[in-house]
Amino acid sequence: MTSFHYQTQANDETIEHLLRQKWQAGKKTVHLMRMAKSVTDTDGEPIDWRDPLPQGTMLHFTMPEAVSNYVEEENNLPIVYEDEHILVVNKPAGMDTHPDGQRGTGTVMNRIMHYVRNNGSDYAEHIHRLDKGTAGLILIAKHPIAKTLFDRMLANNEIERMYTAELDGYLKKSKGTLSYPIGRDRSHPTRRRVSVSGQRAVTHFKVIKRSEDTTIVEASLETGRTHQIRVHFSHIGHPVKGDTVYEGSITEDGQYRLTATKISFRHPFTEQPATIEI
């Protein structure tokens, strides 16, 4: 059963306001919680949703209907961060974030499903995804309200994601912004390309290290388009090393050199700044 605790952040906060206004939880979720009397105090006693609560009141939320349907597989992925609301996992290159179909296997979410079920829950959903060849940090919600809040934060550009990439060639500019719209490549089923009719895409970067034939950069996303970093750097003539889909040079292990290294945000439940990095 999925559950979490929350400590009220202001005087006279009500559960009704918390769920409907502050968190803007889904109507179905709110209805199910109300019917199940699933908000209680620390002694397990239900609380009237209209009662004003003192700041610092500890509430317990239970979400019996929260179930994810991923097939579970034994987890061997490092959990970098975890609290009652989210966890962050370090994905290896070469693994998909989630399966294509309901019964698919071999992905991050299959392994995380095994992890959360071993810890008494049935729910886990990714907030964002990484390309199969990209390694690094993925943020995962542990209950539906966290999923709703972090999805909204992602859409509002309130989650900062930082990447490290090794590029082919000597990139002369020490820092800059790549602002090129990205759309589908009609000649290839999965490729993207810079296109005047594409979606707005903005990548900021700064150089960390250079050698004669490669450049290591730190890149942050202002938007989150499919293959954005890969497309942008390939477009300026410096593809990610190993990314042969976008004209990158071949690597010995066949993987390309792009890693999601840092996630930063203001935690919507504690209201404190949080940074998770590798």
Question: Topology of 2-63 in CATH?
Answer: 3.10.290
Residues of the chain within CATH 3.30.2350.10 domain(s) are: 79-156, 161-260
pLDDT at residue 261, as a whole number: 98
Q: What is the mean pLDDT of the chain?
A: 95
Q: Does residue 253 have a pLDDT over 80?
A: yes
Could you say which of 48, 100, 122, 131 is catalytic?
131
pLDDT computed for residue 53 by the predictor: 95
Distance CA 74, CA 111 (A): 6
In the predicted structure, residue 17 carries a pLDDT above the cut 90: yes
- Rounded Cα distance between 107 and 144, Å, is 21
Instruction: Average the pLDDT over 219-241 and give the result.
Output: 96
- Tokens 């996303």, residue? 221
Active-site residue 131, yes or no? yes
pLDDT value of position 1: 75
CATH fold group of domain 161-260: Pseudouridine synthase (3.30.2350)
- What pLDDT, on the 0 to 100 scale, is given for residue 63? 86
Q: What was the pLDDT predicted at 176? A: 98
3-state secondary structure of 201: coil
Name residues whose C-beta falls within 8 Å of residue 47's C-beta, 6 or more positions apart in sequence: 15, 39, 40, 41, 53, 59
pLDDT at 153 > cutoff 80: yes
Q: Is the separation of the CB atoms in 102 and 69 below 8 Å?
A: yes
pLDDT in the model for residue 103: 83
- Give the pLDDT score at 204: 97
Q: Name the pTM for this structure.
A: 0.92
Q: How confident is the model at residue 107 (pLDDT cuts 50, 70, 90)?
A: very high
Ranges for all domains in the chain classified under CATH 3.10.290: 2-63
- Most confidently modeled range among 29-33, 86-90, 209-213: 86-90
Q: Which token pair is 87?
A: 């966890």
| Inter-residue contact 143 to 85 (CB < 8 Å) | yes
Q: Which CATH number fits domain 79-156: 3.30.2350.10, 3.10.180.10, 3.40.50.300, 3.40.250.10?
A: 3.30.2350.10
Residue 102 has pLDDT above 90, yes or no: no
The whole-number pLDDT of residue 170 equals: 97
Band of residue 64 on the pLDDT scale cut at 50, 70, 90: confident
Q: Tell me what pLDDT residue 56 has.
A: 94
60 three-class SS? strand
